[in-house]
Amino acid sequence: MNTLELRAVSKSYNEFKAVQNLSFSIPQGAVFGLLGPNGAGKTTSLRMMIGITIPDTGEVQMFGEPFRRKHLLRIGYLPEERGLYKRMKVQQLLIFLAQLKGVSPEDATKRSTWWLERLDLAKWANAKVEELSKGMQQKIQFIAAVLHQPEFVIMDEPFSGLDPANANELKDVLVELKNAGKTILFSTHRMDQVERLCDSICLVNHGVAVLDGDLKAIKASYGKSAIQLEYEGAAAFLERKDLIESFNDYGNYVELRLRPGTDSQDILRLASQNARVTRFELAEPSLESIFIAVSRGKDLQEVKHA
Amino acid sequence: MHNVWLILQREYLERVRTKGFIIFTLLMPLFIVGIVVGPQKLMTRKTAGAHDIVVVAATQSIADAVKQELENPVVTDPDSDEKEVPNFAVHTSLDTSEQMQKELFARVNSGDLEGYLVLSEQAIADRKFIYKTRAASDFVQTVALRTAVSSALSRQKLAERGISATDSDKLLQRFDMDTVRIDQGRETKAGGIGTVILPFLLMMMIYITVLVYGVAVMRSVLEEKNSRVMEVMLSSVSALELMAGKILGVGAVGLTQILIWVGLGVVSSTPAVVAAKPYLADLQIPTMVFVFFPIFFLLGYMLYSCMYAAVGAMVNSEEEAQQLQWPVMLPIIACSAFAMEAIRHPNSPLAFWLSQFPLTSPILMFVRIAVQQPPMWQILLSITILIATIYGAVVLCCRIYRVGILIYGKRPTLPEILRWIKYA
């Protein structure tokens, strides 16, 4: 069964088309990435899934039936714009938010105590929210999103603003949730973070889905078309437009995409003429380079044959 | 409904616990009594020293009669009580020359003298005299002077015609009048100033609470918007539930406050209430006033808080809110301007229409009820129009609210707001 299915959903604000004809589905228990640059329509899509805004056309299926407000009790949402009632005490606020999700005050108290300990916030339970650091507030917000044990967790940019230690802690919790059979939806523009966690993805740009499906399948369909290259010396070979379709300089290494028909060994020879190659690897393209290629409007088929 | 209740509860508890609530609850009655009673107290307070004045008269007997009358008034205005009589120290002079007047003028100017009164032959014949003072706006003083002079002169004339002092005192004593209000077939004694003060006081209560709590709703919406907590809430509750919970929660705080004030009023040992006693004494408040007070407060509050919620959703900062709340505040401020008219002429066409127009009726219909109960159909019509308007306002404002709370950045223009209303 699909936890969520969007069917040709569109939303416009005046002339601005925020989301156009977006369709994808998330199977139960999957970790799904909704990816795209800022302003691509990700947040609007999320808002339409949970009824904050209503789609102009199209349909949202939740847990196998048309979306209704009662479904919200089974969904956890971490919005990109983080916010809490600043003057409330931490645990009181968590209990209040859980009650809105239909949890009894007793259960909410028990669970929030457990979560606060789990995320090292126990001693702040009676502090006011405004006394907490930003990172701590973000963890509180995360707890609020999962306190009612939702089957479906939606997270908009969950890692933004977290230091590496906290981000790692959060990632561990998410893996636990995944192992417990929850469906998770990430929305982010940081593709590298999601790459490690997601089963399947949908790439959106300018409100339109440009690529979607199983992450492994997508990457496989591009083949080992990318070359990751570390070198010292002249980079003139990168300008050989007849052989190289595009390249992405990451500083420590370059990722190249070859023109159809180019032999990778030619590149190695070319590079070693003028520079000292320290690493040469045929790799699956990173999500980021796929995205860049796709969003530049390249014909997908052409890219795939590279 | 459960969600509305939870939001209401949170809103209520968070507010009632604040110091601001406690302070406002305690200070408000003092403030209202202060602005009503204060000026009167100040006006009628006995000035510490006596007012030094000089009476310049053509004859010694006239001068003495006026002096006598000013220092020990026999004839008093029954509406005013003892302490309203200013304390004069009267000096007399028979010198009506220009020279003398110049000298007196200089003394008044330097502050050595409070004022001087010229009762020349001519002035008496014209029945018009001149009092020169720096405190020309102190009408308590000028009224006392005029009363004293006219009764002193009248007494003299009467004495000239052989009427004894006791008789002339009786003749000159003014008549007292009691106003009795006929209302719903019953008679209630409506003692002088109280009939005006009570409706005015109650009107101020509704006026200030509606304004204060309307603004509270607006600021609370703005705060939720600015702290970005709005989206978290919307993932659990609908915009309508959020708005309803907030308005009802804040309204419940307002109602609590009013009940506390009524409670404080009952405990009449409060100094403020004691101070107000003389003005409220022997005034009977029609029972209907107590029935309609909470009704009109709640209806008025509902209407205005909806509009304030919409304003809060439209703006991004306190400054913008200040500007945009003016159109909402205007009718309610107009109410206080028209209140005196409604108190004096509760049945005039103007009062009638204003008490039916929904933006002014919560206050002005209530004022009319407090002054003189209008026909029941008028009250019911007013309430019906009000409820229908509230329904419309809830629908309209909720649409603005729903869109506005998720939009940050530039303040929306009017066409944009109209578009929001049209959104599904």
| pLDDT tens track for B225-279 | 888 888 889 889 988 899 999 999 999 998 888 778 777 665 544 455 555 555 5
Helix axis angle, B239-266 to B287-314, nearest 10° = 140
Structure tokens at A178: 């995944």
Q: What's the angle, vertex CA A143, arms to CA A137 and CA A149, rounded to 5?
A: 165
Q: Which chain B residues touch A47 with a CB distance below 8 Å?
A: 406
Q: Which chain B residues touch A97 with a CB distance below 8 Å?
A: 232, 236
Does residue A210 contact residue A257 with C-beta atoms inside 8 Å?
no
Tally A–B CB contacts below 8 A: 56
Q: What single string gives the DSSP state of each residue in A152-190?
A: EEEEESTTTT--HHHHHHHHHHHHHHHHTT-EEEEEES-
pLDDT category, A105, cuts 50, 70, 90?
very high
Looking at B45-190, list the stretches that DSSP marks H as alpha helix, in order from N- to C-terminal side.
Answer: 60-71, 98-110, 121-126, 139-160, 165-172
- Residue bearing the bigger pLDDT, A34 or B340: A34
pLDDT of residue B189: 59
Q: Say if residue A304's pLDDT is above 50.
A: no
A5: which strand partners?
Answer: A25, A61
Quote the minimal CA–CA distance from A55 to chain B in Å.
9
Q: Which chain B residues touch A14 with a CB distance below 8 Å?
A: 419
pLDDT of residue A142: 92
Taking CA atoms, what residue in A is nearest to B226?
A83
Q: Which chain A residues touch B237 with a CB distance below 8 Å?
A: 100
Region of residue B216 (left: phi > 0; alpha: psi -120 to 50; beta: else): alpha
Contact at CB, A100 and B406, closer than 8 angstroms: no
Best A11, A50, A81 residue to mutate vs chain B (most B CBs within 10 Å): A81
pLDDT of residue B77: 53
Q: What is the DSSP letter of A246?
A: E
Q: What is the mean pLDDT of residues A114-136?
A: 91
Spatial separation of the C-alpha atoms in residues B406 and B313, rounded to whole Å: 8
**Could you identify the residue written with the tokens 């108290």?**
A109
Q: Which chain A residues touch B227 with a CB distance below 8 Å?
A: 83-86
A176-190, A204-218, A286-300, range with the lowest pLDDT? A286-300
Which helix (H) or strand (E) covers residue A249, if one does?
Answer: strand A244-249
Contact at CB, B232 and A87, closer than 8 angstroms: no
Number of Cβ atoms within 10 Å of the Cβ of A258: 19
Sheet holding B88-93, edge to edge: B88-93, B51-57, B115-119, B130-133
pLDDT of residue A184: 93
Spatial separation of the C-alpha atoms in residues B211 and B365, rounded to whole Å: 17
Q: Which chain A residues touch B419 with a CB distance below 8 Å?
A: 14
Spatial separation of the C-alpha atoms in residues A145 and A124, rounded to whole Å: 18
B396 CB-near residues (< 8 Å, 6+ apart): B310, B421
- Residue bearing the bigger pLDDT, A236 or B286: A236
Does residue A174 contact residue A128 with C-beta atoms inside 8 Å?
no
Spatial separation of the C-alpha atoms in residues B199 and B369, rounded to whole Å: 9
| pLDDT tens track for A9-31 | 998 877 788 898 999 999 999 99
Chain-centroid distance, C-alpha B222: 31
pLDDT of residue A306: 41
Q: What single string gives the DSSP state of each residue in B325-337?
A: THHHHHHHHHHHH
For chain B, the farthest-separated pair of C-alpha atoms sits apart, in whole angstroms, at: 96
Q: How many residues does chain A have?
A: 306
CA distances from A178 to A106, A182, B60, B148, B272 (A): 26, 5, 111, 97, 66
The segments of chain B whose pLDDT lies below 50 read 81-83, 268-270, 282
Dihedral sign, Cα of residue A259, residue A262, residue A267, residue A268: positive
pLDDT of residue B341: 82
End-to-end CA distance of chain B: 22
Q: Say if residue A229's pLDDT is above 90.
A: no
Taking CA atoms, what residue in B is nearest to A93?
B10
Does residue B354 contact residue B338 with C-beta atoms inside 8 Å?
yes
Taking CA atoms, what residue in A is nearest to B220?
A85
Q: Say if residue A305's pLDDT is above 50.
A: no
Q: CB under 8 Å, gap of 24 or more: what pairs does B95-101 form?
A: B95/B56, B96/B56, B96/B58, B96/B120, B100/B56, B101/B56
pLDDT of residue B110: 85
- Of residues A53, A82, A88, nearest to B228 (C-beta): A82
Q: What percent of chain A has pLDDT over 90?
A: 33
Does residue A23 contact residue A8 with C-beta atoms inside 8 Å?
yes
In terms of Cα–Cα distance, which of B318, B305, B291 is closest to B209?
B305
Contact at CB, B10 and A52, closer than 8 angstroms: no
Spatial separation of the C-alpha atoms in residues B260 and B27, rounded to whole Å: 12
Q: What is the mean pLDDT of residues A263-268?
A: 82
Q: Does the interface ipTM go beyond 0.85? A: no
